[in-house]
Structure 1
Amino acid sequence: MKRVIYLLLLVLPLVLQPSWAKWFEAQGQAIVGNDVKAARDAAIQDAVKQALLYSGGSIQSLQQVNNGVLEQQSLSVSGGGDIRALKVTNETLDKNTITVTVQVDVFPQARAQQCKGQAYAKSLALVRFKMKNRDQARVGDISELNRVFSDKLNNLMELNHTSFDIRQFINQNVSFDPAKLDARNETVRQQIKALAKRADTQFVLLGSIEDVSVELEERSALDFWVKDPPRHFYLVTYLFDGLSGDLLERKHYRRQATWGFKETARIDLASMKFWRSPYGQSLLTVMDEVMLDTSTALACEAPQAKVIAIRDNKIQINLGRKNGLKVGERLTLMHNGSYTDQFGIVRFRQEKSNIKVKVVELYHDSAVLQGADTLDANNIQLNDYAIIQ
């Protein structure tokens, strides 16, 4: 079964139900290999994913949709609610591509169950993933896979405007060492904070491709190449809070798929031939999972804005319309600091001030705040933070 991400999608809210439920319509596509049913399932799952991202949520497991039928009474949606119904309204098969149109009924969570952070797109920087063992990449000459994979993932996450504000793709090698992820080791913490400062973001996503080996079986001297050997893909991602340098989440993704190329072939990683191959399709599935997992992990994280300018009794911050801020929204200023505890571990600390401000001017990626009273400039510093009340 082969699948592609269908980027140019029609995703429309349908006014078909009462105000407490919303129907969304979306299209998904998949490449048809030897299994039409599997391709249809993949197209339906892709359409459901797009509808959920448009609605502001993300499905926890796309595997819970099977042949256009929910395998549970409802599906939990991070940031959105539950999927209560799914309809396949149209299906076409054109040569080797199947296209389906679905309508998804998203029932919002009760207000008490929602968190403030769900309404805001989080500023995030994606750093080019590293390739741990380049010797494994010799088969197929895919030593640039880490760069190409990271770039495609960044493009995919940029499409999810409700969850992410992707401000920079740091497309260069960074000497990130997961072995130093220890509370007493400040090296990684300071490195993450520097990356976040450079990209002007609150969160940083890094990763390491640990395994791309080809699994060769025993062969006789007459066999030049084992037919269709499987190839592994093992990725570990690290999601950090860029303000404190703390690790928020570490995720592992393992896949195995038929390699499908000759032993001496040199693979063009930009070609559709590669991305439509079973191995390429498995990588696209991993990209989906990384995006959805990251969206879920950050859904309830409180967005924090950095103070970037102070003048004329007003404060400018580095979050704006793109992040979901609105004129009149109220925020509280915070002072950041750190201390060393009795075990010698440096701890991040924020002190809440009594300064209340609200948004009076709004721009694409920044906003101007003003207090009800005259602001005391001595109590406000550049790089202080503002949190939404």
Structure 2
Amino acid sequence: MVMLHRAFVFLFLVFGFLPVTQPADFYFQGQAQIIDGDINSARQQAIEAALLTANLENGITINSSRESTNSQFHQSHTILNNRLDGEQVELISERIQKDIIVVNVKISSHQSHFQTAGKVSIFLPQLNLTNPAHLRYGQLSGFQQSLTEELSDSLAQKSKLSFPELRADQNLNLSQSFFEDNTQKLPNWIGDMSNSQYVLIGNILNAEVVPAPKSFWDFVEHYPSRQFQINLNLFHAISGEKIWQKTYFINEVWEFERNKILSASSTELWHSKYGQAIKRLLNSIALEIDTQLKERPLMGTFIVKHEKQLLINLGRRNNIQVGDKLKLVLRKDLHTRFQSIKTIAQPSHTELTVTQITEQTAVVEWSKATEIENIQVGDVVIKP
């Protein structure tokens, strides 16, 4: 079902576009769930999701105010005006599929191409399961691995600032206290093993089936519901610090008979209402992680130092290009009075230039080759 609605939106986009003779058109898509039949609110959320994608991908800052009466937009299409160069965004179509509304917007830009943001690698091991007994209903063996793969797919498809390093078969065997203590830092061995910029560790807290309520007049048996609750923790792989955590919860109908045996990787499960609700949640999580990464610079480390050659763990997949300028941050180990070592970072004004790239690594050069001895494996580089 395709529906074109009348809308007029004033938004000011703060963005420095490169002047060209003819504007180029770029397209973004957003979607949202329709709750309680409120299509107008869902449409607004879908538009904001599309603009968030443009924001994350292109550095657009949006301040918006909409003219509406009784939740109805006034004009025939959505137009957004750029305060600097008059870039224009238009809502060109929308469609409703069951309880999901999908909108498409077009940005007419006076720049020849969109800026390429640095992308970080997120190490994604198998999600932990707090209570395996919750999976007995439906006999969902392997649910943690399948769910990890679904989360990886959401990051790969929806995230503009990251890509997953999937290790769905790798269980870190972390203790329950690790998940319960909010002050926990990432164990060093995980950061060293991942060779990624971030590590995403999740804990499935609940996958329990809740029987449908019954009353005296109920002659038809209703399907039960199934809960899904997950806690996610995003760690910086270099510093080990936890930069974000959040717990999510949904409750959806479980439309299978009690004796039904399901494969955790089956299309039947992931096309069910329960599976689709989880997929929508994972897609929104991918976008939320992007908002956490947006203000953080792309960071990597030196992994090889051989004579005058310096190799870092950033490459083409991180949107690193030949000629990029990187800042150097030196590590310094301090011995404490407790006979332990504390590592601190020492900022520097040194600038390195990327001279060669592969998919996962890059060779960098320092103009002051005589002082290269000051750099050691593990030192940090930052892409401003």
Q: Which runs of 5+ in 1 are unaligned?
A: 1-16, 76-82, 109-115
Structure 2 counterpart of 1:87: 91
Match of 1:210 among 205, 210, 227: 205
Structure-2 separation of matches of 1:296 and 1:350:
25
Q: Displacement, 1:329?
A: 2.2
Instruction: Verify the 8 A CA contact 1:239 1:249 in the aligned structure 2.
Output: yes
> Normalising by the residue count of structure 1, what TM-score does the alignment of the two structures yield?
0.71
> Normalising by the residue count of structure 2, what TM-score does the alignment of the two structures yield?
0.71
Structure 2 counterpart of 1:371: 366
Instruction: Verify the 8 A CA contact 1:121 1:163 in the aligned structure 2.
Output: yes
The code of the aligned residue for 1:176 comes to: L
1:130-169, aligned counterparts within 5 Å? 130-160=128-158, 162-169=160-167
Q: Which moved more, 1:312-321 or 1:198-207?
A: 312-321
Structure 2 counterpart of 1:329: 324
Per-residue CA deviations over 1:102-155 (Å, capped at 9, x if unaligned) read: 2244999xxxxxxx9x92101211121111111111111124222111111112
1:187-198, aligned counterparts within 5 Å? 189=185, 191=187, 193-198=188-193
SS at match of 2:262: coil
Q: Displacement, 1:266?
A: 1.0
Structure 2 counterpart of 1:295: 290
Match of 2:380 among 350, 369, 385: 385
SS at match of 2:369: coil
Structure-1 separation of matches of 2:342 and 2:176:
19
1:1-389, aligned counterparts within 5 Å? 23-26=25-28, 48=50, 52=54, 55-56=57-58, 85-89=89-93, 102-105=104-107, 119-160=117-158, 162-177=160-175, 179-180=177-178, 189=185, 191=187, 193-217=188-212, 226-337=221-332, 348-353=343-348, 355-389=350-384
Structure-1 separation of matches of 2:288 and 2:230:
13
Structure-2 separation of matches of 1:299 and 1:121:
10
Instruction: Verify the 8 A CA contact 1:24 1:51 in the aligned structure 2.
Output: no
Percentage of identical aligned residues: 20
SS at match of 1:205: strand
SS at match of 1:150: helix
Structure 1 counterpart of 2:10: none
SS at match of 2:346: strand
Structure-2 separation of matches of 1:45 and 1:271:
32
- Report the aligned-residue RMSD: 4.8
Instruction: Verify the 8 A CA contact 2:186 2:237 in the aligned structure 1.
Output: no
Q: Displacement, 1:211?
A: 0.7
Per-residue CA deviations over 1:335-373 (Å, capped at 9, x if unaligned) read: 224558899998652113454321122222211111122
Q: Displacement, 1:250?
A: 0.8
SS at match of 2:239: coil
Q: How many aligned residue pairs are there?
A: 346
Residues 42, 331 of structure 1: alpha-carbon distance in 2 compared, 3 angstrom cutoff: closer
Structure-2 separation of matches of 1:68 and 1:150:
40
Q: Displacement, 1:252?
A: 1.1
Instruction: Verify the 8 A CA contact 2:123 2:164 in the aligned structure 1.
Output: yes
Q: Which runs of 5+ in 2 are unaligned?
A: 1-16, 81-86
Instruction: Verify the 8 A CA contact 2:321 2:357 in the aligned structure 1.
Output: yes
Structure 2 counterpart of 1:111: none
Residues 226, 322 of structure 1: alpha-carbon distance in 2 compared, 3 angstrom cutoff: same
Instruction: Verify the 8 A CA contact 1:125 1:199 in the aligned structure 2.
Output: yes
Q: Which has the greater radius of gyration?
A: 2
The code of the aligned residue for 1:360 comes to: T
